[in-house]
């Protein structure tokens, strides 16, 4: 009676049900093996591999299993028991395996014939890079302040966006101190054109009067900073250019030269106020950083120096 109760209870569990099926028919063990392989594929797929890579991996997996069986069988047989084709197959796989390991080893340490060392170092560097997200841009102002305080002589800082009214208002002392330490600073902001302000208002859902006020405040703060700072032998530089088109993002870029770079970026989205868009912080040597660095350089090349704009198009 007890055995029947144990059998009945064990069947209700997955492991017990599988065991009962194997006892009912030995061939069920092959179905179990198929299920195990499917589970393995499902686990590996969580690593982010493509379906093509998984299919290739499964094929390679079966090939290695076959090779393992051949070698396991070969160890129990004498040389005379192995036919010539079997010996050729075994030794061919041995040579291929040794050659593959040797080439992978050489590529890892000497970067040839495959630049594997570069790939390993790149993956290692990316593993230490964190992408930090700030739900609101104002939360990133404190981070920008910390980066400003840590900036040293030779650092190049670029501010790209519609305006930096809040940044230049709350961080005016930090900006001035950074310039006096020898930091090269560049501002790229929207030109105070009525057409541009009207366009930005229509695309991003803000009133023209509010945008005009913020753009004017940002420019006034920058010009005030220019008046307080005078270029010196420390190497500090303050340049300002105006954009005659609407930028798609706000970028705080800190270039430390040989030490690398990092950025805080707010991506603008039509119909969403910039103050409601999240801010991202990441390293400049990542693909994401390289993308925004290229965009920043393009904007700077197409920006108009503020003195030139005032002479030709000032309103």
The pTM is what? 0.58
- Tell me if 205 sits within 8 A of 272, measured CB to CB: yes
Give the pLDDT of residue 152.
87
Q: For strands 304-305 and 237-243, give the pairing.
A: antiparallel
Of 220, 159, 153, whose CA–CA distance to 183 is shortest?
A: 153
Give the pLDDT of residue 241.
92
Integer angstrom CA distances of residue 214 from 84, 106, 210, 281, 301: 85, 59, 6, 24, 24
Hey, CA dihedral for 307, 192, 264, 48, is it positive or negative? Answer: negative
- d(CA 144, CA 306) in angstroms, rounded, equals 24
Please give the helix or strand (H or E) that residue 253 lies within, else none: strand 249-255
The total of other beta-carbon atoms located within 10 Å of residue 144's CB is 23
Give the pLDDT of residue 311.
83
DSSP state for residue 168 in the 8-state scheme: H
Q: Which residue has the tokens 């805080």?
A: 264
User: Residues of the chain whose pLDDT is less than 70?
Assistant: 1-18, 20-82, 86, 116-130, 231-234, 313-315
Q: Where are the beta strands (DSSP E) in 180-247?
A: 184-190, 237-243
- d(CA 168, CA 141) in angstroms, rounded, equals 10
Residue 159: strand, helix, or coil? strand
Residue 284: strand, helix, or coil? coil
DSSP state for residue 206 in the 8-state scheme: -
């Amino acid at each position: 009676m007890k055995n029947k109760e144990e059998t009945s209870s064990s069947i209700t569990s997955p492991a017990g049900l599988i065991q009962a099926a194997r006892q009912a028919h030995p061939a069920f063990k092959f179905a179990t093996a198929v299920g195990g392989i499917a589970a393995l594929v499902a686990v590996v797929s969580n690593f982010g591999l493509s379906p093509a890579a998984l299919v290739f991996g499964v094929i390679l997996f079966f090939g290695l299993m076959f090779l393992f069986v051949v070698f396991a069988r070969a160890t129990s047989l004498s040389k005379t028991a192995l036919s010539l084709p079997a010996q050729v197959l075994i030794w061919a796989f041995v040579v291929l395996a040794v050659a593959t390991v040797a080439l992978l080893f050489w590529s890892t340490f000497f970067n040839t014939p495959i630049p594997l060392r570069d790939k390993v170092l790149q993956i290692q560097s990316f593993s230490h890079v964190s992408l930090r997200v700030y739900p609101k841009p104002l939360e990133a102002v404190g981070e920008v302040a910390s980066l400003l305080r840590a900036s040293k002589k030779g650092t190049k800082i670029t501010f790209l966006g519609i305006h930096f009214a809040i940044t230049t208002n709350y961080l005016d002392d930090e900006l001035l101190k950074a310039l006096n330490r020898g930091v090269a600073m560049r501002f790229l902001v929207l030109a105070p054109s009525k057409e541009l302000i009207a366009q930005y208002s229509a695309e991003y859902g803000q009133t023209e009067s509010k945008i005009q006020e913020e753009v004017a405040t940002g420019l006034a703060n920058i010009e005030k900073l220019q008046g307080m700072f005078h270029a010196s032998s420390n190497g500090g530089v303050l340049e300002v250019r105006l954009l005659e088109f609407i930028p798609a993002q706000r970028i705080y870029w800190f270039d430390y030269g040989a030490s690398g770079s990092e950025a805080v970026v707010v991506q603008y989205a039509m119909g969403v106020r910039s103050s409601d868009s999240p801010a991202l912080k990441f390293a400049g040597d990542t693909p994401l950083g390289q993308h925004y660095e290229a965009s920043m350089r393009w904007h700077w090349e197409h920006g108009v120096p503020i003195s030139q704009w005032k002479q030709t198009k000032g309103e």
